[in-house]
Amino acid sequence: MGRHWQNIKLGKGKLDAQRAAKFTQLSRAITMAAKEKGGDPAMNAKLSTAIEKAKEAFMPKDNIERAVKRGTGELEAEQLVELLYEGYGPGGAAILVECVTDNRNRTATNVKTAFTRNGGTLGASGSVAWMFERRGVIEIPAFSLEGKDPDEAEMALIEAGAEDIERDEQGWEVITSFSDLGEVRAKVEKAGFKISSAEPAYIAKDPLKVPEDQKEALTELLEALDADEDVKDVYTNADL
């Protein structure tokens, strides 16, 4: 489940490096969320989701608390900015790269290098963003659906504001409008569903079927982008 790229196969050395990079990504997401709407997860849905993701990645509690305090100003923090890069990968796949960074030049260089070394092309602003929609995505894990009648559950989610529902073995994804994400999340929880995450995402308007002989090269590009500690999320319209 999920709209952004997830690494599946990682060797030991690569896993260690990826874990360090992931901690940096998660820490920055927590700091940005706390900076935007305060350090109380109960009052800040974005912060709550960021903290839950950090816990799932086994980030130490102290790291999480420091990240929150950097966002609220209790601890000195690096100056972070959010950036969005656009480009094409092997097979003509459109790619969006969301970044959170303290160094624009470093991030731009790293993202461009990842594209050029892996058969991709970094594009100008607006070159592929039009192929995606900014939506809200609420993920409901499979265990939260156990014992529920599927038809009744679907109706409850529609009444809560779901515009679309997608299912797989890991659970359900509730798609909402970007502006209604917070309100729909609250209604979904009130209806008795456990939520694993609720956050904005870029959803491809039309999934692209990538030729089989291009899939490996595209996967390598997506992995290279995802491995960078400045990269928050990677989205593609490719159907992999």
Q: What is the mean pLDDT of residues 83-99?
A: 94
Residue 221 sits in the same domain as residue 188: no
Residue 183 sits in the same domain as residue 199: yes
Residue 21 sits in the same domain as residue 53: yes
Highest-pLDDT range among 23-32, 71-80, 96-105, 194-203 = 96-105
Report the number of distinct structural domains present in the chain. Answer: 3
Q: What is the mean pLDDT of the chain?
A: 86
Q: Is 179 helix (H, G, I), strand (E, B) or coil?
A: coil
Task: Answer with the one of 72, 101, 118 that is the final residue of a domain.
Answer: 72
Residue 139 sits in the same domain as residue 186: yes
DSSP state of 142: G
4 occurs within a structural domain: no
Sheet holding 132-141, edge to edge: 164-168, 171-177, 132-141, 197-204
Highest-pLDDT range among 71-75, 84-88, 101-105 = 84-88
Cα 215 to Cα 42: distance, rounded to the nearest angstrom: 41
Residue 118 sits in the same domain as residue 141: no
Classify burial at 7, counting beta carbons within 10 Å of its beta carbon; exposed 0-12, middle 13-18, buried 19 or more.
Answer: middle
Tell me the CATH number at 16: 1.10.10.200
Residue 25 sits in the same domain as residue 139: no
Q: What is the per-residue pLDDT for 78?
A: 75
61, 51 Cβ separation under 8 angstroms: no
Tell me the CATH number at 167: 3.30.70.980
Quote the domain boundaries for residue 126: 81-130+207-239
Cα 196 to Cα 172: distance, rounded to the nearest angstrom: 10
pLDDT digits (tens, 9 = 90+) for 117-175: 999 999 999 999 999 999 999 989 888 888 888 899 999 999 999 999 988 888 899 99
Q: Which candidate, 41, 118, 53, places its Cα nearest to that of 87?
A: 118
pLDDT at 181 over 70: yes
